[in-house]
Amino acid sequence: MSVLFYLLKVNLILLAFYAFYWVFLRKNTFFQANRFYLLLSVVVSFLMPLMKIRHNYTFLQPLPVTLNEIPSETIKETVFQPVLQNSSELAFNWMDVVAAIYLAGVVVFSLKFVIALVKIYVLLRNSEPIDKSETRSGREYWLLRTNKAFSSYSFFNFLILNKEDIFYNRNMITDHEEVHISQGHSWDIFLLEIVSIFCWFNPILSLYKTALTRLHEFIADSIIEGDEKVPYAQFLFAYNFKANATPLGSDFFKDSLLKERIQMMMKKRSPLWMISKYIFIVPLVVCMGYFVMAQDVRRIQDADLLPAEFKGGMRAFEEYFAGHFQYPAGERLEGDIYASFVVNTDGELTEMSIDKGLRPDYNSKVANVLWDMPYWTPAERRKKPVESRVFLRITLGKSYGIIANQSEIDPAFKGVLVVDGNVINSDKSLYRDEYYQLLENTQSLKNNISSSVSLRGENQALIDKYGKQAKFGVDFWMTEKPMLFIFNQEEQVTENMATSFRVDDATIEILAPREAKKKYGEKGKNGAIVISNNY
């Protein structure tokens, strides 16, 4: 999966978790439970999109892809080659702009985080150590004094008191801040700051930080019990308003939280039965898991499908075309013409189109021959006629041949090409004549016997490794470095092999040479392709 799509899922999950907290949990007094819920929801939000829930079902493909057999001497020449584009030919891509904006945001928020850490470091360096103390839980911390007019605060194992609090409010403030230190509240804020760097565009993260900051203060204030609550509330009102020292620490006093802190401190504790609200987290996680982690695995029942066909088969069609096509006057051209048309349920041909041609006079000659064809035998699904589109590739001037592609897609290759482990093409559709031209420009394939493994179908492992174009398939071409190929635990070296596999419902591993050699020995020295069907 792409990084941006992954982050989109993460932020949608964060939104769902926070909405649940706001509606069901925000007003109860289970402060520790709420704290762990928020922290765990952040971690789960990043892990959930990485998991996969696979479920299989059978569906009917519109029409199968069928190709007539290509002579073996032609196969040796039909290889996909790199696309070497000039910069002026590069197409504008909005996703590149989005990625650039996202990375710029990551850089900016990373700098802000680093600057905040530097400020804390400077504050600690400029503060005077008083002594080393222990919290009630036995955790050691350093007590420091600062001459700055900041509100006293704690940061990890450091408690910094301003000069007034040292003399007038030391015990009350240290008791409060020791709770922050002993429970590691600084780690919570640190985690949220790191997450905010990568999800800087999501305003929900600021709500998460605000919610956690509130909970930290409610937890620290909860040590005040009974008759001590009223004097403590009066002390909060009387405490001098001071600037916050740092967004990463736990300041003793934040005026924006004063009202809520007192309300929560005076509030009657939530009854135990209200803890049952946390049970609703389970269906929330299940629903999000289904929609975010589910991966459809589709199986095709080829037995139920029959493609449209020229009466008598492809051989009869070739004979028909050869008997009716006449070359235009003048020098003969060589090349491929790609045509398509619809065969309706009666076998009639409609919507004729020349998708890619040679020259107008050649294109019109081919179109006239196709228009004059007799009715075809329509495609059938479960023995019932269905409408279908037929794609034809007609080769003229070279070795004569016709390939029929019965599907809802054009016959160009749109996937990723890998030659001897290197990605050659991943951003352009290639027709057969372009294959030939690019073949001549690839040094590693010249005068070498090549082997190939074609993986067809949308497989998430291939998309994760080679990008979104891999959903159209990946072709591996090998010359002097044949890879080890393992299909359903059966091993074979791909030397002099040309094969193709559907991998929609398969687990795939593409192992680098070092990893493959470590796992399979010398036979994996050039890398390995490991495929296991999941049915």
The model's pLDDT over 347-388, given as tens digits with 9 standing for 90+, comes to: 888 888 887 788 888 888 888 898 889 999 888 877 788 888
* 439 burial level (CB within 10 Å; 0-12, 13-18, 19+): middle
pLDDT level of residue 33 (50, 70, 90 thresholds):
very high
User: Residue 131 pLDDT more than 90?
Assistant: no
Q: What is the DSSP letter of 23?
A: I
Segment 6-24 shows an average pLDDT of 90
The residue among 474 and 84 whose pLDDT is bigger is: 474
Least confident among 114-118, 185-189, 333-337: 333-337
Are 251 and 165 within 8 A, CB to CB?
Answer: no
Most confident of 147-161, 286-300, 426-440: 147-161
Q: So what's the pLDDT on residue 398? A: 56
The residue among 12 and 383 whose pLDDT is bigger is: 12
Q: So what's the pLDDT on residue 22? A: 92
Query: pLDDT averaged over the chain?
Result: 76
Q: Is 123 left (phi over 0), alpha (psi -120 to 50) or beta?
A: alpha
Residue 455 tokens, joined: 């993986």
Rounded Cα–Cα distance for residues 247 and 193 (Å) = 10
Checking 100-108 for CB contacts under 8 A at 24+ apart, the result is 102/4, 102/7, 102/201, 105/200, 105/201, 106/197, 106/198, 106/200, 108/200
Q: So what's the pLDDT on residue 273? A: 82
Q: So what's the pLDDT on residue 339? A: 84
User: Residue 107 pLDDT more than 90?
Assistant: yes
Beta bridge partners, 381, equal 305, 384
Contacts of 347 (CB under 8 A, 6+ apart): 308, 375, 376, 377, 378
Residue 331 tokens, joined: 């020098």
Rounded to the nearest 10 degrees, what angle do helices 3-20 and 281-293 cross at? 160
CA dist list (Å): 315 to 70, 311, 334, 411? 12, 10, 22, 20
Segment 77-89 shows an average pLDDT of 32
Q: So what's the pLDDT on residue 61? A: 38
The residue among 113 and 69 whose pLDDT is bigger is: 113
Are 257 and 241 within 8 A, CB to CB?
Answer: no
User: Residue 245 pLDDT more than 60?
Assistant: no
- pTM of the predicted protein model: 0.50
CA torsion, points 110, 114, 117, 121, in degrees to nearest 10?
170
pLDDT level of residue 18 (50, 70, 90 thresholds):
very high
Type of residue at 274: M
Q: So what's the pLDDT on residue 77? A: 29
Segment 446-469 shows an average pLDDT of 77
Beta bridge partners, 486, equal 491, 530
| Residue-wise DSSP of 130-158 | EEEEE-TTS-EEEEEEE-SSBPPEEETTE
Most confident of 50-54, 143-147, 224-228, 241-245: 143-147
User: Residue 105 pLDDT more than 90?
Assistant: yes
Segment 201-224 shows an average pLDDT of 89
User: Residue 506 pLDDT more than 50?
Assistant: yes
DSSP-derived 3-state class of residue 521: helix
CA torsion, points 277, 282, 285, 286, in degrees to nearest 10?
-140
Q: How many CB atoms lie within 10 A of CB 526?
A: 19
pLDDT level of residue 42 (50, 70, 90 thresholds):
very high
Rounded Cα–Cα distance for residues 218 and 262 (Å) = 9
pLDDT level of residue 436 (50, 70, 90 thresholds):
low
Q: How many CB atoms lie within 10 A of CB 388?
A: 25
Q: So what's the pLDDT on residue 448? A: 60
User: Residue 80 pLDDT more than 50?
Assistant: no
Q: So what's the pLDDT on residue 41? A: 93
pLDDT level of residue 459 (50, 70, 90 thresholds):
confident
Least confident among 37-46, 97-106, 260-269: 260-269
Q: So what's the pLDDT on residue 60? A: 37
Least confident among 127-141, 242-256, 508-522: 242-256
pLDDT level of residue 78 (50, 70, 90 thresholds):
very low
Pairing of strands 416-419, 422-425: antiparallel
CA dist list (Å): 412 to 267, 269, 281, 356, 431? 69, 68, 48, 10, 5
User: Scanning the structure block, which residue is given the tokens 């600084």?
Assistant: 186
Of the chain, the percentage scoring pLDDT greater than 70 comes to: 75
pLDDT level of residue 305 (50, 70, 90 thresholds):
low
User: Residue 299 pLDDT more than 50?
Assistant: no
User: Residue 81 pLDDT more than 70?
Assistant: no
